[in-house]
Amino acid sequence: MTVPYVAQPAPVTPPSGSTRPRLTFLGTGYLGATYAICYAELGYDVLGVDVDADKIEKLGQGEVPFHEPGLDELLRKNLASGKLRFTTSYQEAADFGDVHFICVGTPQRASGMGADLSYVETCVIDLAHHLTRKALIVGKSTVPVGTAEWVEQLVEKHVRPELGVEVAWSPEFLQEGFAVDDVMRPNRIVVASKTDWANSLLYMAHKGVFDLAAVEDREVPVVATDFATAELVKHAANAFLATKISFINAMAEVCEMSGGDVTALSRALGHDPRIGNRFLQAGLGFGGACLPKDIRAFQARAQELGAGEALRFLHEVDLINMRRRQRVLNLAADLLTRKYGPAGPDLSGARVAVLGATFKPNTDDVRDAPALAVAGMLARAGAEVRVYDPQGMENARRALPNVMYAKTMLDAVTDAELVCVLTEWAEFRNADPVALGEVAAARNVIDGRNCLDAQAWKSAGWTIRALGRPTV
């Protein structure tokens, strides 16, 4: 047993009177559903709340509405034990919960780079109107600095003051594809609260995580801080990760002009422990529902605060990231010996297989996915695009309906003049280039993630182009 990870605050009796705080997760998307299920698994009584009745129905029937390894089993197990329930009713949430975690989306605003906080606002106000006793509202959604104070003001405005409802903040760092482990075994917990009561309840709401760590002889570092810092941690972490990816992709651009090989460069850099090799793989760049919108929201907020210059570099990070998409299009034109018109390469009629639609492997999330964006760009350039992804087909079809979809990798590649590997799923990394070569119309491949064994593909007769690597 290891020592406690944080000075353990004295326990308080949760407002519901139960020994352990009862938890609600408001918003049961990738973040909230994963939390609800994992915290039930940790022993808490949990209620997942969403305005999307279809999603709630699926969850209640034991079906996770998205792909996340390991989550289905835990959902069914905890529904069966009665620890976990789902509802669309804020009345039920208010009656049940001691600690209410805000897990709703904070997408980019349609009108600019800032975060759209309307879901947070609606969720807090809906909960506030139904509360009849003291409770703790904890923000988990990724938000611009200053949001927690604003949520406090919403609570002051919409909750009867004598209830003494409080607000705390605890940003979330889970990664899709690893979410179950990230929630049960986080590499750190960041908390911000203003009173001993809130601090105690927040500690009790995380005790399951600390207890599991103790059993496994691990430590979970806790950083207790103020509201502003807790909010900034999340944006700063994503800004750093995005910068690291765009740094190596900028090196890829230089390699492309100078004949260097970015994969060797990145290996050499990564051996330096001060740099490290994670998030240092050159390729098609970052996407998903977090990094792109978070670096934009961070810049927008810094601008509002008069610190815009400090984050100007994030604009470049974004531009480097977007340029990688165009690079794939240019490589496609070169490989297929197509001309460039005023609107870019003309790929009219070219049959192109796109392998990958999700923003990374082991998820079905196609939000701001570079792979799907490139599929769309290829189609706009005139190509006949056939997409295959192991998990993201349903979401991809909805997001990009005007391309074709294949049932298998082999179907996608059959008759293609060009294959673009744009998400590094194991199925594509381990694909047999000989078998694919037999069904393709021409053996041209673009490795958009530097994930293929170039030698094996060349030996099978393929002409291969990769981002940041010399032409071979």
Ligand X SMILES: NC(=O)c1ccc[n+]([C@@H]2O[C@H](COP(=O)([O-])OP(=O)(O)OC[C@H]3O[C@@H](n4cnc5c(N)ncnc54)[C@H](O)[C@@H]3O)[C@@H](O)[C@H]2O)c1
- Smaller CB separation from ligand X, 243 or 463: 243
Q: Of 8, 13, 18, 122, which lies in the binding site for ligand X, with binding defined by CB under 6 A?
A: 122
Q: Token pair for residue 227?
A: 């509201």
To 5 degrees, how large is the angle CA 340–CA 344–CA 349?
75
> Are the beta carbons of 138 and 170 closer than 8 angstroms?
yes
Rg (CA), the chain: 24
Sign of CA dihedral 5, 201, 26, 89: positive
Alpha helices in 114-195 (DSSP H): 118-130, 147-158, 179-184
The piece of 171-179, 194-202, 296-304, 310-318 that touches ligand X (CB under 6 A) is: 171-179
C-alpha 402/C-alpha 393 separation (Å) is: 13
CB of 21 to ligand X, least distance (A): 20
> Are the beta carbons of 84 and 36 closer than 8 angstroms?
yes
Asked if residue 105 binds ligand X (CB under 6 A), the reply is: yes
The piece of 28-36, 162-170, 273-281, 326-334 that touches ligand X (CB under 6 A) is: 28-36
Asked if residue 182 binds ligand X (CB under 6 A), the reply is: no
Asked if residue 275 binds ligand X (CB under 6 A), the reply is: no
- Smaller CB separation from ligand X, 234 or 469: 234
Each residue 129-168 as x (binds ligand X by CB under 6 A) or -, in order, gives ------------xx--------------------------
C-alpha 109/C-alpha 297 separation (Å) is: 9
Asked if residue 55 binds ligand X (CB under 6 A), the reply is: yes
Asked if residue 31 binds ligand X (CB under 6 A), the reply is: yes
Helix and strand numbers (H, E) in the chain are 18, 16
- Smaller CB separation from ligand X, 45 or 294: 294
- Smaller CB separation from ligand X, 104 or 314: 104
| Exposure string over 354-392, b if 16+ CB within 10 A, otherwise e | bbbbbbbbbbbbbbbbbbbbbbbbbbebbbbbbbbbbbb
- Smaller CB separation from ligand X, 9 or 60: 60
CB of 365 to ligand X, least distance (A): 7
Asked if residue 50 binds ligand X (CB under 6 A), the reply is: yes
Torsion (CA) 13, 14, 17, 23 in degrees, nearest 10 = -150
286-305 residues near ligand X, rule: CB under 6 A:
289-290
Asked if residue 123 binds ligand X (CB under 6 A), the reply is: yes
C-alpha 175/C-alpha 139 separation (Å) is: 18
Q: What residues form DSSP beta bridges with 100?
A: 24, 137
The piece of 118-126, 404-412, 415-423, 428-436 that touches ligand X (CB under 6 A) is: 118-126
- Smaller CB separation from ligand X, 289 or 416: 289
CB of 384 to ligand X, least distance (A): 32
CB of 162 to ligand X, least distance (A): 25
CB of 123 to ligand X, least distance (A): 4
Asked if residue 28 binds ligand X (CB under 6 A), the reply is: yes
Q: Token pair for residue 391?
A: 């998990």
Tracing tokens 């590499």 back to the chain, one arrives at 187
C-alpha 442/C-alpha 462 separation (Å) is: 8
Asked if residue 106 binds ligand X (CB under 6 A), the reply is: yes
Q: Of 14, 21, 23, 30, which lies in the binding site for ligand X, with binding defined by CB under 6 A?
A: 30
Q: What residues form DSSP beta bridges with 275?
A: none
Asked if residue 181 binds ligand X (CB under 6 A), the reply is: no
Residue 27, helix vs strand vs coil: coil
Active-site entry in 103, 290, 420, 451: 290
Q: Of 5, 35, 101, 119, which lies in the binding site for ligand X, with binding defined by CB under 6 A?
A: 119
C-alpha 61/C-alpha 388 separation (Å) is: 29
Instruction: Name the amino acid, one letter, at 106.
Output: T
Asked if residue 174 binds ligand X (CB under 6 A), the reply is: yes
The piece of 44-52, 149-157, 303-311, 437-445 that touches ligand X (CB under 6 A) is: 44-52
C-alpha 166/C-alpha 43 separation (Å) is: 24
Q: What share of the chain is helix, strand, coil (3-state, %, to 5)?
A: 45, 15, 40
Residue 290 catalytic?
yes
CB of 65 to ligand X, least distance (A): 8
Q: Of 14, 15, 21, 29, which lies in the binding site for ligand X, with binding defined by CB under 6 A?
A: 29
CB of 75 to ligand X, least distance (A): 15
The piece of 49-57, 244-252, 377-385, 407-415 that touches ligand X (CB under 6 A) is: 49-57
- Smaller CB separation from ligand X, 52 or 411: 52
DSSP letters, 44-92, are --EEEE-S-HHHHHHHHTT--SS--TTHHHHHHHHHHHTSEEEES-HHH
CB of 171 to ligand X, least distance (A): 7
C-alpha 325/C-alpha 100 separation (Å) is: 40
Residues found near ligand X in the complex (CB under 6 A):
26-32, 49-52, 55, 103-106, 119, 122-123, 126, 141-142, 172, 174, 176, 289-290
State the catalytic residues: 290
